Structure 1
Amino acid sequence: MGSNGKKRASGNLLYGVAALLLIVLGWQCIAWSVSWWRGVSFPTPFETGWKLVKMLAGEPLLGYSIYLHTLSSMGRWLGGFSIAVFSGALIGMAAGRWRTFERLTMPSVQVLQLIPGLAWIPVAILLFGIGDGATLFMIAVTAFAPIAINVAGGVKRVDEMYIRAARMLGLNNRMLFRSVLLPGALPHILSGLRVGLGSSWRVLVAAEMVVGRGTGLGYAIIQSRWTLDFAKAFVCIAIICGIGLIMERVIFIPLEKRTLELWGLKREV
């Protein structure tokens, strides 16, 4: 890494620390204001941090460890997101290659994208009842549309000249996909995955609040209203934010950059 890269990394780190301090300061001010104005005990950053330490050390949450709640949420998200990736990529690839299929499917997919994830709650309950099935459905249907639309758009932008040249060289469908369609559509595919990742993670928490059962971070947050232990709810919120940031900043963005570099591509800033 050159000197410019080191300076940029140091600057990003400083800005990140400054932003975190501002969030903590604002949180503390809100806690003081609510306690003074409404007489309600609003968990402070220190109280939430101490509660997190105790929960990591084994203090139960609804009879289960915080690790089990976190793993349950991650498992549900991974299952629903995997369904969305598989179906979205399949529909998107087909729509990008065949105009008739695009005309038949893309209008419906675009309508799906306009529907907020929480609006699927009644449908999910009618189809699957209360439990993991409804949660998986809401995650999958929320992430499916942006993935399918971006994949289709990326495939359509591959120059037809390259496809004809590949056919003339005798490439079969599998080789055409790997050597021409995938590299050409990759930036759009990654954009769709990024949008789908964020939207599916958000709807996971909301789904667990409404149709969840037993374990899960969202379920734990909504159930904390009965025990009035809001510090535990704030711990769950902090974990949700932390996992979201890790998936976005630590895992997906470096993976996206590395993938584009391997294929000889570059994300435009």
Structure 2
Amino acid sequence: MGIQNREDKILNSLLESRADNEHVIDVPRDHTYTIITNILTFLIGIFIVLLIWQGFAVLYNDYIGNSLIPFTTPLEAFERLFELLSGGNMFGVTIYDHVFASLKRWTMGYVISAVIGILTGLILGYSTRLYPVGIIPVHILQMILGLAWIPIAMLMFGLGDESAIFIIAMTAMAPIIINVSSGIRKAPPVIMRVANMVGSSKFSIFSNILIPYASLDIINGLRIGLANAWRVLIAAEMVVGVAVGLGYSISQATYVIDYSSAFVCIMVICAIGLFVEKVVFVSIEKYIRRKIGLEEGV
């Protein structure tokens, strides 16, 4: 027994020492390694896109294209981008004005859709009687293409920002409602019954049970809605009569055959979308996963 107790003490001492060393050294090292790996992976992905773009431009300009206007290369697009970032003019205003105008419409339309979508999703997900009927109009709404709202928007609001904001809100709303209601319905019925039996208030049930269970679905719904809103914004700006914005700039660049400016706008659109997805939403998702115990982290 004495030998066994001594071995147990030695083993416990080694395990405690290993745990302390891992806490001090391994976790920060692993965290830093993960960050570096993610950055390198992102840069490699960007490099592949630029490589494909350059390869297609060379192939088109030298062997395929019959047009007098060459296909814009990445170098030409970046040169035009730096020119615009330095204060160059693009269709009467700077690129900063175009970006700000698009982001303003995008934010206003998305906030409207997020507020309505989350509230509606919570109600549908919580009510077992209302859900089967209420979710049908939402699915119908989801089937309507964003650009299909253009005649309705122009009829209601005419030309201008209000039409673009309406189109964004209607396009982003359905996926938010569907994901939120689906997440709320994932809560196990037995937990709901226990909460009701102990006299928990509806607010307590929502905040302590339903919201944690639905948190990842809510994030996914907001993510899909945001992407839908961004895509339809660019298309809407081309046709609803706005005079400034990234979509408007692409449309105007096509008319005046300024393809380098069009590619710059596309690059800016992609950069903003990647930032929101890879920085904002990924960070929020990781935070939520740690809070609900699905992921370890420091």
| TM-score of the alignment, normalized to the shorter chain, above 0.5 | yes
Instruction: Name stretches of at least 5 consecutive residues in structure 2 with no aligned partner.
Output: 1-26
Question: What is the Cα deviation at residue 126 of structure 1?
Answer: 2.0
Q: Which is further off, 50-59 or 161-170?
A: 161-170
Question: What is the Cα deviation at residue 88 of structure 1?
Answer: 1.0
Matched pairs, number: 267
1:157-202 Cα shifts (integer Å, max 9, x gaps) = 1122222332333332222211111111112111111111211111
Tell me which amino acid in the other structure corresponds to 1:130: L
1:70-101 Cα shifts (integer Å, max 9, x gaps) = 11111111111111111111111111111232
Q: 1:227 maps to which residue? A: 256
Question: What is the Cα deviation at residue 7 of structure 1?
Answer: 4.4
Residue 114 in 1 paired to residue 143 in 2? yes
Tell me which amino acid in the other structure corresponds to 2:236: A
8 A contact 2:219–2:281 mirrored in 1: no
Residue 205 in 1 paired to residue 234 in 2? yes
Q: 2:46 maps to which residue? A: 20
Partners of 2:71 and 2:83 in 1: CA distance:
18
Instruction: Name stretches of at least 5 consecutive residues in structure 1 with no aligned partner.
Output: none
Give the structure with higher Rg (CA). 2
Matched residue SS, 2:129: helix
User: Structure 2 matches for 1:169-188, cutoff 5 A?
Assistant: 169-188=198-217
TM-score calculated relative to the size of structure 1: 0.91
Tell me which amino acid in the other structure corresponds to 1:116: L
Q: Which is further off, 95-104 or 2-11?
A: 2-11
TM-score calculated relative to the size of structure 2: 0.83
Partners of 2:281 and 2:237 in 1: CA distance:
24
Q: 1:30 maps to which residue? A: 56
Question: What is the Cα deviation at residue 41 of structure 1?
Answer: 2.4
Residue 140 in 1 paired to residue 169 in 2? yes
Question: What is the Cα deviation at residue 53 of structure 1?
Answer: 0.8
Partners of 1:217 and 1:78 in 2: CA distance:
14
Partners of 2:217 and 2:42 in 1: CA distance:
28
8 A contact 1:48–1:234 mirrored in 2: yes
Q: Percent identity?
A: 39
Q: Which is further off, 117-126 or 106-115?
A: 117-126
Question: What is the Cα deviation at residue 113 of structure 1?
Answer: 1.4
RMSD, aligned CA: 2.0
Partners of 1:89 and 1:255 in 2: CA distance:
17
